[in-house]
Structure 1
């Protein structure tokens, strides 16, 4: 379990970053309680925006903790899963279009992450 602690920090960071970005989007779209304005100048700060920023900030703290433990060249490809997760959540939760080229891009990113993670294991071993 201890050997995977850093990877768990990165996973938490990625999940919180993706959640934060999507909650911010919902808040800025004015959806339900998340769209309720907390402050209206200079930018309308909604509950969703504030909550999303808080999630993103906590994810950033987890990222910093992970980077303090392992090489960034190993961790950064793992963090790229945020692009995949955010795209999928955007499509399935926010109903954003996900055409063939975006699907190919997401698959390409996923394959790249898998390859980089594998080569990093080979270098570390």
Structure 2
């Protein structure tokens, strides 16, 4: 089975065209070699897939005949992705919450309220010290 079709069948990508595009960009390697979309996948192959800033490590156990349901995916692949990869993603999400990128436009109403609350707290502390 082609690797783009396999990744679609085991639900790593929503469509085959998205899977093919990721493969063309070089986000997928099979047994340590960068793969092409037409590369055949066999049982016991090791696939490394970069998706959403995580390097998934997948071991092919069997080849499905067509796209399988989410409950049946584990029959056809073994996920060997290290837990540190998911922890790193959580840290990235937490760090983005406290950062507002330059040029993102005007502050929202909630941002404005937070700024005013922060400034009011500073003014209260200054008045108490006097």
TM-score after normalising by structure 2: 0.28
Relative contact order, higher structure (CA 8 A, sep 6+): 1
Which has the greater radius of gyration?
2
**As a proportion of its length, which structure holds more strand?**
2
